[in-house]
Amino acid sequence: MKLILLGPPGAGKGTQAKRLEEQFGFVQLSTGDMLRAAVAAKTDIGKQAEAIMARGDLVPNEVVVGIIAERIEQPDCKEGYILDGFPRNVAQAEALDAMLASKGTELDAVVELKVDSAILLNRIETRAAETEGGPRADDNAEALKKRLDVYDEQTAPLIAYYGKTGKLKSVDGMQTMDEVTAAIVAVLGIKKSKGSVLSWLTGRG
């Protein structure tokens, strides 16, 4: 299964991606980790990324997509993968779709974790107040508010973009972690069969 989890900062995307990885064998692919691995492996595209980052520039979409294209061909992605941190905007989503189409494949689903931003802010304020020695510099309501604003402006439009494709599934992200995981599994229609092999209840694979 080729999957994207969407949701604002604090929605629990990383936690749910890790749970799906552990339970079903889908590989969680972090954009940052893939970039670092490509640079360390000194692949052609990794060298491009290294030169760009050395200049202090942002790695362009085509390079990131190229690194993803290399990574998803590796054997551990055979059962499926979850893209973490990409795409962040519609232009990146279009580039990703084009790359997958060139390989004769496409995303299976995009799961939106729907949460209440006000409650997220309240949670982090409570956690900060309870943290001994004070919160981290990036772990406070003001920092989260800025990240939520960036999400609303750049990433939230992906909900409409993927909604038009029929691939978007929505889950209540305000439930407990176990309930969210169960809801994701339900909307994806997947189950474990023998060993770690996965079957789509819908008959897709």
pLDDT (tens digit per residue) in 86-113: 999 999 999 999 999 999 999 999 999 9
Whether 14 maps to a domain, the answer reads yes
Q: What is the CATH number of the domain that holds 48?
A: 3.40.50.300
CA pair distance 184, 18, nearest whole angstrom: 13
Which of 29-33, 42-46, 182-186, 196-200 shows the lowest mean pLDDT across its residues? Answer: 196-200
205 in a domain, yes or no? no
For residue 110, being part of any structural domain is answered with: yes
| Catalytic position from the list 36, 88, 114, 167 | 88
> Which residue do the tokens 């692919």 mark?
29
Domain count, the chain: 1
Which one of the listed residues 47, 78, 103, 136 is annotated catalytic? 136
Q: What is the pLDDT of residues 148-193, one digit of tens each?
A: 999 999 999 999 999 999 999 999 999 999 999 999 999 999 876 4
Active site includes 204? no
- Residue partners of 23: CB distance under 8 A and separation at least 6: 181, 192
Residue range 108-131: mean pLDDT, rounded: 83
Cα–Cα distance for residue pair 78/27, rounded to 1 Å: 9
Pick the most confident of 111-120, 128-137, 195-204: 111-120
What is the phi/psi pair of residue 127, to 5°? -65, -40
Domain that holds residue 36: 2-200
